[in-house]
Chain A
Amino acid sequence: MIEIQNLTKDYGRIRAIDDVSFTVGKGEIVGFLGPNGAGKTTTMNIITGFISSTSGSVRVAGYDILENPVEVKRHIGYLPEQPPLYPDMTVSEFLDFCADLKKVTAREWKNQKKDIMELVKITHVSHRLIKNLSKGYKQRVGLAQALVGSPDVLILDEPTVGLDPKQIMEIRKLIKALGKNHTIILSSHILPEVSAVCDRVIIINKGRIAAIDTPENLSKKLSDFSRFTITVAGPESKVREILEGVEGVKDVEISGSPGEDETCFIVEADKDSDVRRPIFNQLASAGYPILELKSMNLSLEEIFLQLTTTEVKEVV
């Protein structure tokens, strides 16, 4: 449903996101997890066509965001971090405006409006001015806005931020329910939230993807394996063979090729056996020099730590 390839965005000299690639299948709920400033909002803004990328491509429902922006936008409902609301309109007027803007036909809208308002529980405030609503209700109206026109894809940027615990539970339940009919990407800096709601988690830090997996696998990986990135000069398949042959290595994935004849692998290994020495020896004897060898564990754990401590702080 959503295909992101080598997405990069520069703000002046600062690289906000760096070579981000992932795909999201139909009906999946994917969580975007990362500390503040990791590039979650930037990525979402690019997918929704609000800002443009420096390089890379975004395809939604088969349409390219640059070639066919209107078609892409038709398939997406977006709830930004700050819900986009006109304070001087009533809830009902505002949703009518959104329907108009998204070109929902009058007949369709008549049925849809009632459903949406009931779904996010705002029917009883429909005639109040948006500026007089509480933060929780504003968030719901924002979510209602994203649902207008029943788009296939929902993109929700920190949908539970600033809500009280009861509201958070409600919104999470709602998102799970919506996941039955929609493809959803949601971002959060709270780990338990993402593992409660999402089928798959993308951990992003400093603009780079640190891991993509199911919440269960992720926590397993953290405890059982140590991970390295290793860049080797040499033919991909041969190097891979050697790496896989090293005792203790569980999995080898290719993560990119930084230069000609250079390949970057992500290697997973048993926690108790140190595979770095045998990897070095075997590659050296095969004549493929290691250009870079870096442990990834620390960064991933660091992120997790940061994420879990944020949750603790917020709940207490």
Chain B
Amino acid sequence: MMAIIRRDFRSYFSSPIAYVLIGLFICIMSLFFVDSLNAGVAYFTSNFISSMSFMLLFIVPILTMRTFAEDKKSGTEVLLLTSPVRLSQVVLGKYLAATGVFLVLTAASLVFPLVLLIYGKPDGATLFSSYLGFVLLGMVFTSVGIFASSLTENQIVAAIISFVSLFTLTSFSYIGSYMGGFIGKLLNRLSFMDKYYEFSAGIIDITSIIFMLSFAVVFVFLTVRILERKRWSQG
């Protein structure tokens, strides 16, 4: 599994994709950052990091879209699946590699709070919990992206599927509050965005951490199932 993590992680950086995505992300966020400086330090943790999460809606689908499509195209899927490695290890390896790239992106974005720490006095604890929420959210997003890429051989389609599913998943609490009733309640319960907002408000709740991690686990597991089913399929 380590082999797969290493190779995939390196391949993100041997092609322009990781650089372009991270560069683009930092560029756009800088614009937001300048804006948020006018609004004060408290604004930073609550709104700035939220807009970073919003950006993830676009970044993560592009990051993950080629996860399985690329292997299918180059025929290396056969290599992975005929090696003495379990399918779940292949998927997990690929997921962790993509998560690794996301963590590099997160690390790059630390430049913003660093500027704040030098020139202002942000609340360290809130900053930490916001970032924790951001990382957990990124992990959930990545798992959904990986799942979408296992559904299709076309990278563009994979990106669109993951964007749409992420968009839908993140709007669960809006949809829920409009619908009301049992379904509304259910959607509210499932909304990881609500959990995420708790983090950016400075609340670290262990159940929220577990909830978001299990969300990621479920999607990684579903990815394994999808790929497994493809091998057994009659068509």
Contacts and interface: CB of A to CB of B under 8 A. Distances in A.
Interface residues of B, number: 25
Given A51-B231, A54-B234, A100-B3, A73 B76 contact: no
> Dominant SS at the A interface?
loop
A306 B6 CA distance: 47
B34 interface: no
A85 B77 CA distance: 10
B38 interface: no
A254 interface: no
Contact of B76 (A48, A49, A85): A85
A98 B79 contact: yes
29 contacts: A10-B234, A11-B234, A12-B234, A12-B235, A48-B78, A48-B82, A49-B81, A50-B82, A50-B231, A51-B231, A52-B231, A71-B84, A76-B82, A78-B78, A80-B75, A82-B75, A83-B75, A84-B75, A85-B75, A85-B76, A86-B76, A87-B74, A89-B14, A98-B79, A98-B83, A100-B2, A100-B3, A101-B80, A145-B79
B189 interface: no
Interface of B: 2-4, 6-7, 11, 14-15, 74-86, 231-232, 234-235
Interface in A82-108: 82-89, 97-98, 100-103
Given A49-B81, A100-B2, A85 B74 contact: yes
Contacts of A54: 234
A264 to B, nearest CB: 27
A71 B83 CA distance: 10
A70 interface: yes
A26 interface: no
Contacts of A98: 79, 83
